[in-house]
Structure 1
């Protein structure tokens, strides 16, 4: 379904994907059934996961490129290239993207994570209402995927955050009942006077969000954390001391300048030395680097681990 390009990215045949989807939708379940799996952790105990669940929440921009992720063929090509690089363990995405990757045969021997709640659309009045509009625990189990991920943003001034908290707890319960890992991405959030939703990356707020997320559900046996690097990276040791749960770092948008990228890599390098930090989950910073070299960005991240 794809042919090579000069930059190493495969050229994805969207027409063929659409043809299979229209004529043989059962091909997706068949591809999931025959996918060759691997353990969540290999021998080195580290994880590098490429995240691509942004579009389903209406997040299509990267830096000043407002529609960078809107070209699905381009996104799939970048994902296939990233997944082919040494040291990349797997991918996090919503059903539409994972279905495409299954049809492309790109998920063999990879960790596959389903994105569970994408209802809090970027910029919407209901952005904090992170309802579970993506993969359900039973979908992840049925498709033989390896883990799920949920977003947990809490605003202490918004009573609706209690509903979000309860929904997240029940999702943790359902995943634990199936012995499936679930990665919880917690934030303490607030709205600015202009109504924009922002996440508090101070050490106190991140530590508090970790403590809250760690206590969700009737069992934490299968819970992992996905945590941002704090505004001051020197605070990370104190922040990560808030829980014994294994964690991966959130890559986030690291900026386009070489200086910004170097600073982000150094933050990641320092945090990856902490005892509970098992790896990195990054998306746009690896898939859409400013210089366009996906392979180099992915290889740099893999080298940090």
Structure 2
């Protein structure tokens, strides 16, 4: 399709109010359609400095290319919406790509990838009042907990207050919890063992003064056979996250099978996937998105 960057810049320069106007006239829809399933394309990685996909360290850095991929993905049948930061969502609003779609604002992007303060993931993105003001449909936050980092307590408290703020507005918030730790080289790693994912789900489920509007965004465990037991830790509705699957088509095929199995579990309602669909190993965005959408056609158990 080819995004006209010059036109976007012209509008942003001369008519910044056009963003609010586009948000006000956007056609809205319920979070869930009749099938109760949800496929969201995630594109909030750049604001955390996470630009790489596989062996391409700056794959997500070209904004026009990213917007082209997002517009294509959003046009495919079965795609419900998008998760992104303000800059990307506002570009998509100006492009008219969000009518009839679920729009999910990314709320905390302060934990920059590779930074010494990566675990201090402050709420530098959408606030609850921004999501409400713009008429968006939900928010998402990242919750990484390191038992060796006293700062994780501050993260937990901040997360709880955001859950309260979203619930006060009757807005769903998707919480993405991990137990994390530094490896000997200082790099932050998320623990995907069954015990760690179960524990993170239990912690996230109990945050805030109500869980009525809380969803979980969870990874598939190292051993996919553990997912039934892991997801039994909570009755909150959940979606699966994707992650970076690299440049190996075999890894992508394996991921689809893991998602297919986990989507049969009663609390798992859908997928929130970004890089693996926007930058598939074979370069075919439409085919990758269509394959993921096909997985959601199978009813949950």
TM tier relative to shorter chain? over 0.9
> Take 1:242 and 1:280, find their aligned partners in 2: how far apart are those partners?
19
**2:11 matched residue in structure 1:** 20
Confirm or deny that 1:156 pairs with 2:147. Answer: yes
> Take 2:233 and 2:246, find their aligned partners in 1: how far apart are those partners?
29
Confirm or deny that 1:92 pairs with 2:92. Answer: no
Which of 245, 257, 276 is residue 248 of structure 2 equivalent to?
Answer: 257
User: What does 1:78-157 correspond to in 2, within 5 Å?
Assistant: 78-157=69-148
Does the CA contact (< 8 Å) of 2:194 and 2:222 recur in 1?
A: yes
Other structure's SS at 1:201 match: coil
TM-score by length of 2: 0.98
**1:29 matched residue in structure 2:** 20
**What number of residue pairs does the alignment pair up?**
296
> Take 2:149 and 2:46, find their aligned partners in 1: how far apart are those partners?
25
**Cα shift at 1:256:** 2.1
User: What does 1:175-194 correspond to in 2, within 5 Å?
Assistant: 175-194=166-185
Other structure's SS at 2:32 match: coil
Other structure's SS at 1:267 match: helix
> Take 2:221 and 2:31, find their aligned partners in 1: how far apart are those partners?
26
Which of 196, 203, 218 is residue 194 of structure 2 equivalent to?
Answer: 203
> Take 1:177 and 1:55, find their aligned partners in 2: how far apart are those partners?
29
> Take 1:61 and 1:258, find their aligned partners in 2: how far apart are those partners?
17
- C-alpha RMSD of matched pairs (Å): 0.5
**Cα shift at 1:255:** 2.8
Does the CA contact (< 8 Å) of 2:55 and 2:246 recur in 1?
A: no
Does the CA contact (< 8 Å) of 2:73 and 2:278 recur in 1?
A: yes
> Take 2:193 and 2:187, find their aligned partners in 1: how far apart are those partners?
18
**1:4 matched residue in structure 2:** none
Post-superposition CA distance 1:16-37 (Å, at most 9, x none): 0000000000000000000000
**2:292 matched residue in structure 1:** 301
**1:3 matched residue in structure 2:** none
Other structure's SS at 1:49 match: strand
**2:237 matched residue in structure 1:** 246
> Take 1:75 and 1:258, find their aligned partners in 2: how far apart are those partners?
21
> Take 2:236 and 2:268, find their aligned partners in 1: how far apart are those partners?
9
> Take 1:248 and 1:162, find their aligned partners in 2: how far apart are those partners?
25
Does the CA contact (< 8 Å) of 2:55 and 2:247 recur in 1?
A: no
Confirm or deny that 1:40 pairs with 2:5. Answer: no
> Take 2:256 and 2:105, find their aligned partners in 1: how far apart are those partners?
26
Which of 270, 276, 281 is residue 279 of structure 1 equivalent to?
Answer: 270
Post-superposition CA distance 1:43-99 (Å, at most 9, x none): 000000000000000011100001100000000000000000000000000000000
**Cα shift at 1:258:** 2.3
**2:299 matched residue in structure 1:** none
**2:54 matched residue in structure 1:** 63
Mind listing any 5+ residue stretches in structure 1 that lack a counterpart? 1-9
